[in-house]
A = this chain, B = another copy of it.
Amino acid sequence: MSTEAASRRGVPDATVARLPGYLRALTALADDGVVSVSSEELSALAGVGPAKLRKDLSHLGSYGVRGVGYDVTMLAAEITEVLGLARDWPVAIIGMGNLGRALAAYRGFATRGFKVVAVLDHDERLVGLRAAGLVVQAMADLPALVREQGLAIGVIATPPESAQDVADQLVAAGVRSILNFAPVVLSVPGGVDVRKVDLGTELQILAFLAQQRTVPTTRTAEVS
């Protein structure tokens, strides 16, 4: 989608994008002590159709029992494995503005599988201060973080002007996974994955849909 690969290892991109949702639903079920779910129930919890769920799961092998359903714990473990969440991924957040600080403190960020090992900022005046229990480090510390902490994922929470700069430094330091919150298109070399989260874009899509609702004209009488 972003760079080159369309689908890897036989698991389609669209399926991968839904796996986190399934995993979340399964975790919730497990916490409630449920041991087995049907595709019908699980798909409802994840907000997709039952057929889609079954097809998705079929891409990672058969972990269901016909006539019964899926073993909650077993399936959760399998998805965790496929997504690569068995190990812990060290994450660094770059840019300690409003958004960066919020992300650093955000509980949802510390979901199983990820650990914020560092927060950095380009501004020397912020370096040394504490943010969300971590001491803000300088950009120059990036290579050391990769070497010593195994830093694998960089989250860009800077203003748009600095985003490409930060991306370049991340790549140079050896980080090959980037989550970008800045509203710019990053250019990175092949082999580096970038995913973008853009609030403005989402709002604009909502605006379009809202406008369509208020003007349900079919626009047929145009030839007049």
A219 to B78, CA, bound (A): 17
Which of A69-77, A135-143, A165-173, A210-218 participates in binding chain B?
A210-218
Say yes or no: is A85 at the interface (Cβ < 8 Å to chain B). Answer: yes
Q: Which of A157-179 contact B (CB under 8 A)?
A: 159-160, 176-179
A184 (CB) vs chain B CBs: closest residue: B24
- Is A20 in contact with chain B by the CB < 8 A criterion? yes
A35 close to B (CB within 8 Å): no
- A91 touching B203, Cβ below 8 Å: yes
Does B209 contact A177, Cβ atoms closer than 8 Å?
Answer: yes
- Chain A 86-114: CB-based contact to B (< 8 A → 1; otherwise 0): 00010100000011011101111101011
Contact A20 B204 (CB under 8 A): yes
Please judge, given known A-B contacts A98-B106, A109-B199, A212-B8, whether A193 and B179 are in contact too, CB under 8 Å.
no
